[in-house]
Structure 1
């Protein structure tokens, strides 16, 4: 049995047994019963569906029949990006509001839209089936159960995953107009949060939603798993194309995904990736998403390169975000993906390294771009190019020798 099958802790499996065996005896309660019951960080059991390691997702169910609306109040996080999204019971996107479009409360300012500074920097979001069309209104679909997802990317240096402001408060508006403010969910771990969430969904007969979460987070079926053949010759050039994975697992509407096909480790070779960096904000260090890290005009809010297992449950191996990536004097990046356990001593200066991970499992690289300007994606230099190359060639001649033989550059 591979390590993929061992990702779930015994505690979590015990909790799932309790969920599956006892949900029919639990008392149904109008959902949600507390705010933000499940946090997904891309670590542990939440390392599924090719997550970005610099992102955190807080997930909450919303019973649209029991409640007329959900009101979310919070502070703009000190982070690169955030949004609120609604999804169907099976994870398909319905509606979204992105940070820069979120109107601030009276007396506040939105740091994602203006350099003007005031405190507090607060906002209010309304989620309902009767969204008014205002910037701060997010609609739900026609089905009774919706998922609300709060997503935060790349908090500023030294801050926690909430961007230093904590989680937003949540209130529910009954059909009668009565307002109920939810307490934060007390669950201390992802295992407990997911177990309780599935339990409550089943108790309320939202079986489609419960099965969806269970399939995503507990899918360790390796029946059709494809292993790599170390003797099989690999490709030369490796192309990036629009992604095919993750379309129904809470996709981010503001993100463009480019990915490679499944690729296998080649003994004695490394994968070299090269591309021109989109200009991104220098928020990680300066705190402002409006200040470019270089040049004068921001081309994308965020980008990252991640290496993932191309087998169920599609965990990420490692990521490097824009602010973690070393660029050359022409603002190009170079990544080397190798089977080493740590950055090899022969890695050329100015080259970024990502681990391959388990060498018997196919991999794929995903290049994420959040809020790109349309013109930025038209330039060929901005699409990553990749090729396998002999390790000895990189050591002796540098990465530049890897591309011409493969027809990449």
Structure 2
């Protein structure tokens, strides 16, 4: 039995891709290789450089495989635990509504292996070289607590994202799907996410991508891993059809938690966001102040103990327009903190970047990005500890962030010169 986490999120991902390779299951009977040379697993990859849509975090890489599974088929995903801060699998309906999820610490390792995301399983580090797992995407199950199974059948209360109809005469882009298909097929997408690998050069965290096998009774068909992942026009089309309306930016940056109808396009159930909108004026910056939650600094070699307040947090600037690209993020381990554990973010264009002074020392600067549209400024908390009552998930959907106490981000606009001379205090924070 695994614990099911629920989160309603703002950053909507339809992402994913393919790099690295994984071998199929050894010793499997009746195993064949998919005949079509164009059929491969994890064919779509998303990140800021490859496919920048739906507000990805720059610390993460997303890989996607779509499927059309007959009722007696399922996908088997056999992989190794990554040396990274976080990983997960999430299934979605055909246009992005979340169905089921499996987070790294919920995955049971294969016999003789350990799960490095569980402190009790090993040495408490995420260096899991050789530790393997096997999970299933089930076409015959709704969201399930069965060990290492992810349901692909939408729950009874499933609500698909609100999207617009394609332009008349416009042909929708096709996508590669694994499985036999047919009238009774269960269609959807599974997204594999990896955050903050220890080695930035390998976004899979040294583990490669999970090997994918289509299982139908006693028949097993190994699907090769795609050699060259890339963008998906079908994914871009879905994101561009998402009927998202933005309000005018408030006169002062105030953070709220988005409501459910704003956040159901490819969300990650382990993330909960609070957000504000920023409007640009020349010579003006946005300053954000708050207390930072504790986290496991895995890139510095710290273990995941389970006592941290969150697994991961970040602040990101994004554009308030389709296809909802990210501009820049500051991950938790990149954020400067004062002696009391408080951060000061400065959101600024290159032209308005403050000079380094005694007053500005200790500020973390994030690129404003385009000044043609409003900025969506997102604060993420991922896998919040249930004992941490001031996390973003403590905020009711649609509400301001006062329930977060000192951890609530508080913002103000400020002239560059004022900040350079007096720091955040001179900006009224």
| TM tier, smaller | 0.7 to 0.9
Task: Please tell me whether the aligned partners of residues 354 and 420 of structure 2 are also in contact (alpha carbons under 8 angstroms).
Answer: no
Equivalent runs, 1:238-253 vs 2, <5 Å: 238-243=253-258, 247-253=263-269
The match for 2:138 is 128
Task: Please tell me whether the aligned partners of residues 49 and 246 of structure 1 are also in contact (alpha carbons under 8 angstroms).
Answer: no
Q: 1:104 to 1:341 in 2, by over 3 A?
A: farther
Q: 1:85 to 1:327 in 2, by over 3 A?
A: same
Equivalent runs, 1:9-408 vs 2, <5 Å: 33-44=39-50, 46-65=51-70, 68-114=73-119, 116-117=122-123, 120-131=130-141, 133-142=145-154, 144-174=186-216, 176-186=217-227, 188-191=228-231, 194=232, 210=234, 213-216=235-238, 236-243=251-258, 247-260=263-276, 262-286=277-301, 288-290=303-305, 297-340=307-350, 343-346=353-356, 348-374=360-386, 375-377=389-391, 378-403=403-428
Q: TM-score, normalised by structure 1?
A: 0.76
Q: Distance in 1 between matches of 2:145 and 2:225?
A: 28
Q: Which moved more, 1:363-372 or 1:341-350?
A: 341-350
The CA deviation at 1:114 is 2.2
Q: Distance in 2 between matches of 1:246 and 1:161?
A: 29
- Give secondary structure in 2 for the equivalent of 1:395: helix
- Give secondary structure in 2 for the equivalent of 1:237: coil
Aligned length: 342
Q: Which moved more, 1:79-88 or 1:111-120?
A: 111-120
Of structures 1 and 2, the one with the larger relative CO (CA 8 A, separation 6+) is 2
- Alignment root-mean-square deviation, CA: 2.9
The CA deviation at 1:100 is 0.6
The CA deviation at 1:158 is 4.5
Q: TM-score, normalised by structure 2?
A: 0.73
Task: Please tell me whether the aligned partners of residues 83 and 98 of structure 1 are also in contact (alpha carbons under 8 angstroms).
Answer: yes
Q: 1:43 to 1:217 in 2, by over 3 A?
A: farther
The match for 2:180 is none
The CA deviation at 1:129 is 2.5
Structure 2 gaps of 5+ residues are 1-34, 155-184, 392-402
The CA deviation at 1:226 is 9.2
Q: Distance in 1 between matches of 2:265 and 2:37?
A: 21
Q: Which has the higher helix share?
A: 1
Structure 1 gaps of 5+ residues are 1-28, 196-209, 229-233, 292-296, 404-408
Q: 1:65 to 1:381 in 2, by over 3 A?
A: same
The CA deviation at 1:189 is 4.8
Task: Please tell me whether the aligned partners of residues 281 and 288 of structure 1 are also in contact (alpha carbons under 8 angstroms).
Answer: yes
Q: Distance in 2 between matches of 1:37 and 1:67?
A: 24
